[in-house]
Amino acid sequence: MRPLSHPPIEDLRPEAILHALSDPIRAAIFAKIMQVGCVEACSALSALGDRVIPKSSLSNHFKVLREAGLIRSERHGVEVRNHSRWAEVEARFPGLLSGIINAYASDAGSAPRAAEMARPA
Amino acid sequence: MRPLSHPPIEDLRPEAILHALSDPIRAAIFAKIMQVGCVEACSALSALGDRVIPKSSLSNHFKVLREAGLIRSERHGVEVRNHSRWAEVEARFPGLLSGIINAYASDAGSAPRAAEMARPA
DNA sequence: TCCCATAGTTCGGAATTTCGGAACTATCGG
DNA sequence: CCGATAGTTCCGAAATTCCGAACTATGGGA
């Protein structure tokens, strides 16, 4: 199985990042990773509230996040651990991620839906 | 013809904004509107460098930007003038737009492509 | 007034992308 | 070696996007 390649930070493209995070589910996954520090794909499944996400879709969401350069995935035995690349991305595109995450967080308060980012409970 | 409805600022959703700006062409159009202050659709066509964008696609791009709440469009005679809603959006989602625009601008320097945002010439 | 040119929208089919079930692979614990 | 768990791949269906062609609306003449 492939060693899960990640793009070097200088190859990151804003449109890929925006596209990755324009999906509320992916945004929620990413927010979760940042909250918790590290997450394996399967546990993210249950973490998204009421919504049940098929494994194959979930796998694809992680792939999109990884290829956008937002997360780093490492195999540990049978599972994959995903870490955010926040610091790198922040250095490359200052203010981008914080603006996006804050936007989702403030939106969650006014109109809660499937993507419940940064919700207290 | 419809009076070109715009969503009230409290209805804006982050995912719609990210989706709208995850297309480099739309991002370039939006950046152009902010640079120049106001733009009518047709002139944006030539403004995007080498790329020729069909009228119907352009019309759709403006629609996406409008429905995301990023621009305000008014008919003036035969043409439509598009203004950015930057101030409103910035008040609603602080730091979101500046982060995105800066990201594209810094990317343009390192890897120029179809979307030439904030390029001097 | 009628006609034309300009600016933009709508329609509809082709191309692309996304979704997700089923089958597959990889790894760990017995 | 076997079964269970974690995840990927494959591929057809559904949704989206793209864009040419036809259409609509407005202003400016003649």
- B51 vs A8, which has greater pLDDT? A8
Nucleic strand D within 7 A of Cβ B57: yes
User: Considering only CB atoms, which chain B residues are within 8 Å of A102?
Assistant: 93-96
Architecture of domain B13-107: Orthogonal Bundle (1.10)
Q: How far is B27 from chain A (nearest CA, A)?
A: 9
Q: How far is B40 from chain A (nearest CA, A)?
A: 24
User: Considering only CB atoms, which chain B residues are within 8 Å of A24?
Assistant: 15
Q: Are B59 and B4 in contact (CB under 8 A)?
A: no
Query: Which residue in B65, B1, B72 sits closest to B37, CA to CA?
Result: B72
The nucleotide minimizing the C1' distance to residue B73's CA is C8
Architecture of domain A14-109: Orthogonal Bundle (1.10)
- Range in A55-69, A73-87, A104-118 the model is least confident about: A104-118
Task: Tell me the per-residue pLDDT of B73-108, one tens digit each, with 9 for 90 and over.
Answer: 999 989 999 999 999 999 999 999 999 999 999 987
In whole angstroms, give the CA distance from residue A40 to residue A26.
14
State the sign of the Cα–Cα–Cα–Cα dihedral A15, B36, B111, B26. Answer: positive
**What residue segments make up the domains of chain B, in order of their start?**
13-107
Query: Which residue in A1, A6, A63 sits closest to A29, CA to CA?
Result: A63
Task: Tell me the per-residue pLDDT of A103-120, one tens digit each, with 9 for 90 and over.
Answer: 999 987 665 444 444 333
In whole angstroms, give the CA distance from residue A81 to residue A41.
7
